[in-house]
Amino acid sequence: MEDNMEKIIVKGGRELHGEVDISIAKNSVLPIIVATILNPTEITLNKVPVLEDVIVLINLLRELQCEVDFSPITGELRINTSNLKELDPNSELIRKMRASFLIMGPMLARFGRCKISMPGGCNIGSRPIDLHLKGFKNLGIESEIGYGYVEAKTERIVGNRIYLDFPSVGATENIMMAAVLADGDTIIENAAEEPEIWDLARFLNSMGAKIEGAGYGKITIHGVNELKRPKPFTPIFDRIEAGTFMVAAAITNSKITINGVNEEHLMPTLEKLKEIGVQCTITGEKMFVDGTLRKNSVDIKTMPYPGFPTDMQPQIMALLSLTKGVSVITETVFENRFMHVGELGRLGANIKIDGRVAIVDGVSNLTGCEVKATDLRAGAAMILAGLAANGQTEIGDIYHIDRGYTNIEEKFRNLGADIYRVHR
Ligand code: EPU
Q: 410: Cβ–Cβ under 8 A, 6 or more apart, which residues? A: none
Alpha carbon of 116 to ligand 1 centroid (Å): 18
Q: What pLDDT was estimated at residue 128?
A: 87
Could you tell me if residue 202 is left (phi over 0), alpha (psi between -120 and 50 degrees) or otherwise beta? alpha
Q: What residues form the annotated binding site for UDP-N-acetyl-alpha-D-glucosamine?
A: 98, 127-131, 311, 333
Q: What pLDDT was estimated at residue 293?
A: 96
First and final C-alpha spacing in the chain: 15
Residue 255 CB less than 6 A away from ligand 1: no
What is the full DSSP assignment across 128-183?
A: --HHHHHHHHHTT-EEEEETTEEEEE-S--B--EEE-SS--HHHHHHHHHHHTTSB
Residue 128 CB less than 6 A away from ligand 1: yes
Alpha carbon of 132 to ligand 1 centroid (Å): 11
Cα dist from 231 to 34, 42, 47, 150, 208, whole Å: 17, 10, 14, 34, 11
| Cβ neighbours around 28 below 10 Å, total | 24
Report the residue among 333, 337, 375, 402 best suited for mutation to probe ligand 1: largest number of ligand atoms under 8 A from its CB.
Answer: 333
What is the full DSSP assignment across 289-335?
A: EE--S-----EEEB-STTSB-GGGHHHHHHHHTTSSSEEEEE--S-T
Quote the CA–CA distance of 288 and 261 in Å, as a whole number.
Answer: 10
Residue-wise burial string across 225-249, b where 16 or more C-beta atoms lie within 10 A, e elsewhere: eebeebeebbbbbbbbbbbbbbbbb
Q: 354: Cβ–Cβ under 8 A, 6 or more apart, which residues? A: none
Domains of the chain plus CATH, in order, are 6-23+237-423 (3.65.10.10), 26-222 (3.65.10.10)
Residue 310 CB less than 6 A away from ligand 1: yes
Q: What residues form the annotated binding site for phosphoenolpyruvate?
A: 26-27
Q: What pLDDT was estimated at residue 4?
A: 66
Report the residue among 168, 190, 400 best suited for mutation to probe ligand 1: largest number of ligand atoms under 8 A from its CB.
Answer: 168
Residue 204 CB less than 6 A away from ligand 1: no
DSSP annotation of 82 reads T
Report the residue among 169, 193, 301, 400 best suited for mutation to probe ligand 1: largest number of ligand atoms under 8 A from its CB.
Answer: 169
Ligand 1: residue whose CA is nearest its atom 7: 128
Per-residue pLDDT of the chain (424 residues; tens, 9 = 90+): 455 689 999 999 999 999 999 999 999 999 999 999 999 999 999 999 999 999 999 999 999 999 999 999 999 999 999 999 998 887 888 887 878 899 999 999 999 999 998 876 567 666 789 999 999 999 999 999 888 889 999 999 999 999 999 999 999 999 999 999 999 999 999 999 999 999 999 999 999 999 999 999 999 999 999 999 999 999 999 999 999 999 999 999 999 999 999 999 999 999 999 999 999 999 999 999 999 999 999 999 999 999 999 999 999 999 999 999 999 999 999 988 999 999 999 999 999 999 999 999 999 999 999 999 999 999 999 999 999 999 999 999 999 999 999 999 999 999 999 999 998 7
Active site residue 369: no
Residue 127 CB less than 6 A away from ligand 1: yes
Catalytic residue selected from 114, 122, 280, 369: 122
Beta bridge partners of 212: 220
Q: How many contiguous H segments (helices) and E segments (strands) does the chain have? A: 14, 22
Quote the CA–CA distance of 359 and 350 in Å, as a whole number.
Answer: 8
Residue 115 CB less than 6 A away from ligand 1: no
Ligand 1 atom closest to residue 131's alpha carbon, by position in its atom list: 8
Residue 165 CB less than 6 A away from ligand 1: no
